[in-house]
C-alpha cells in the first residue's frame, strides 16, 4: 500500500516513514498538488510552528480538499492534526484546512492551564509503566517532567484548582512532553481498533486542539484536549504514533488497512 507522506518543510518525515514501513506500507514523500492528486492515501506529519503549514499552498490545499471529498484516507500527526482544524493561536494569520471546527490553543495559556497544589514535595512526573524511562531511573526523566494524569491526583494527594484561582498554584509544565494516556470517548473509531483504553502514547507539543464532536480520544495535561479525531476517512493524532510503541504501530496499521480497503 503506497502512502504519500506530505513534505511541506516540517520535521519528522524519516521516523514516520520508517514506522509506516514497519506496518507493511510503502511510503513515498512528495510535495504540492501533483503529488496529492496521485496519492491513494496521505499522511501529513509535522513537528514545528503552525506557521510552517503556510508552505502548503492554495493548489495543494485544494487538491487535499478534493482528495478528502473523494474518500482518500488522510492522517494528520501532531502539527498535521492541528492543521486539520480552523487554525491555531500559534499563528493567528495562518488558516488551517478547516475539516474540523475550532482553533488550537496554548496549553500554557489561561485556557490551557489547570494548576495543582502539591500536599508535599512529591514530584508530578509520570512515565509509561515498563518503559525504558521507568526502568532507567530518575536520570532518564529529563525532558519528561510535569506529566500528571488526572486520575492519579488523589493518589498523590494533589488538589486540582482552576486557572488563576490561587496565586500560589503550581502550573503544569509546557511543552507537554512525554508519555500520557489516550482515553477513548464514546464515539466508535476505526483508527483505535484493537488499542486498549488508557494506552500510553508519546506527546511533544505546546498547542492542542479542542474537543469536538469528532473527537474519539482525549488526553489531559492541564486542559483536556483532542488526542485522536476521526470523521469518515479523515483522521488525526496529536501524539506521535511512530514513537509510541505497540499502540502507535497499531494505529498506523489500522490506517494502512483502512486505506487499503478504500482503494
What pLDDT does 102 receive? 96
C-alpha–C-alpha distance, residues 107 and 220, integer Å: 10
pLDDT tier for residue 172 given thresholds of 50, 70 and 90: confident
Which region among 111-125, 180-194, 216-230, 231-245 has the lowest average model confidence (pLDDT)?
Answer: 111-125
Q: Which domains does the chain have, with CATH numbers?
A: 2-109+175-262 (3.40.50.880), 115-161 (no CATH)
- 43 or 128: which carries more pLDDT confidence? 43
Which H helix or E strand runs over 75?
Answer: strand 74-77
What pLDDT does 145 receive? 31
C-alpha–C-alpha distance, residues 103 and 86, integer Å: 6
Phi/psi of residue 19, each to 5°?
-70, -40
Residues β-bridged to residue 181: 200
Active-site hit among 90, 104, 144, 242: 242
Per-residue pLDDT at 69 exceeds 70: yes
Active-site hit among 2, 49, 78, 152: 78
Active site residue 263: no
What pLDDT does 154 receive? 39
pLDDT tier for residue 109 given thresholds of 50, 70 and 90: confident
Residue identified by cell 492515501 is 41
Average pLDDT, the chain: 83
C-alpha–C-alpha distance, residues 137 and 133, integer Å: 7
pLDDT tier for residue 111 given thresholds of 50, 70 and 90: confident
Instruction: Tell me what percent of the residues of the chain surpass a pLDDT of 90.
Output: 70
C-alpha–C-alpha distance, residues 61 and 67, integer Å: 10
- Per-residue pLDDT, averaged over 24-41, amounts to 96
pTM of the model: 0.80
Quick: pLDDT tens for 112-169.
775 443 433 333 334 444 444 333 333 332 333 333 333 433 343 433 433 444 444 5
Quick: pLDDT tens for 176-203.
999 999 999 989 999 999 999 999 999 9
C-alpha–C-alpha distance, residues 205 and 218, integer Å: 15
Active site residue 101: no
Q: Is residue 210 within 8 Å of 217, Cβ to Cβ?
A: no
Active site residue 240: yes
What pLDDT does 171 receive? 66
Amino acid at each position: 500500500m503506497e502512502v504519500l507522506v506530505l513534505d511541506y518543510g516540517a520535521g519528522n518525515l524519516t521516523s514516520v516513514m520508517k514506522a509506516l514501513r514497519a506496518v507493511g506500507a510503502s511510503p513515498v514523500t512528495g510535495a504540492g498538488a501533483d503529488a496529492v492528486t496521485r496519492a491513494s492515501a496521505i499522511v501529513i506529519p509535522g513537528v514545528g510552528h503552525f506557521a510552517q503549514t503556510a508552505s502548503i499552498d492554495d493548489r495543494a490545499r485544494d487538491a487535499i480538499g478534493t482528495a478528502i471529498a473523494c474518500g482518500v484516507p488522510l492522517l494528520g500527526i501532531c502539527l498535521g492534526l492541528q492543521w486539520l482544524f480552523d487554525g491555531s493561536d500559534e499563528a493567528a494569520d495562518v488558516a488551517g484546512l478547516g475539516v474540523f471546527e475550532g482553533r488550537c490553543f496554548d496549553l500554557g495559556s489561561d485556557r490551557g492551564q489547570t494548576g495543582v497544589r502539591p500536599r508535599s514535595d512529591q514530584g508530578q512526573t509520570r512515565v509509561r509503566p515498563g518503559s525504558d524511562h521507568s526502568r532507567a531511573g530518575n536520570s532518564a526523566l529529563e525532558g519528561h517532567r510535569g506529566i500528571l494524569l488526572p486520575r492519579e491526583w488523589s493518589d498523590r494527594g494533589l488538589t486540582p484548582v482552576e486557572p488563576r484561582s490561587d496565586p500560589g498554584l503550581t502550573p503544569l509544565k509546557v511543552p507537554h512532553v512525554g508519555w500520557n494516556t489516550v482515553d477513548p470517548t464514546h464515539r466508535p473509531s476505526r483508527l483505535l481498533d484493537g488499542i486498549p483504553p488508557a494506552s500510553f502514547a508519546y506527546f511533544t507539543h505546546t498547542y492542542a486542539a479542542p474537543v469536538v464532536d469528532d473527537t474519539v480520544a482525549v488526553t489531559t495535561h492541564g486542559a483536556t484536549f483532542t488526542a485522536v479525531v476521526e470523521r469518515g476517512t479523515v483522521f488525526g493524532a496529536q501524539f506521535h504514533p511512530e514513537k509510541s510503541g505497540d499502540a502507535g504501530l497499531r494505529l498506523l496499521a489500522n490506517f494502512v488497512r483502512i486505506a487499503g480497503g478504500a482503494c
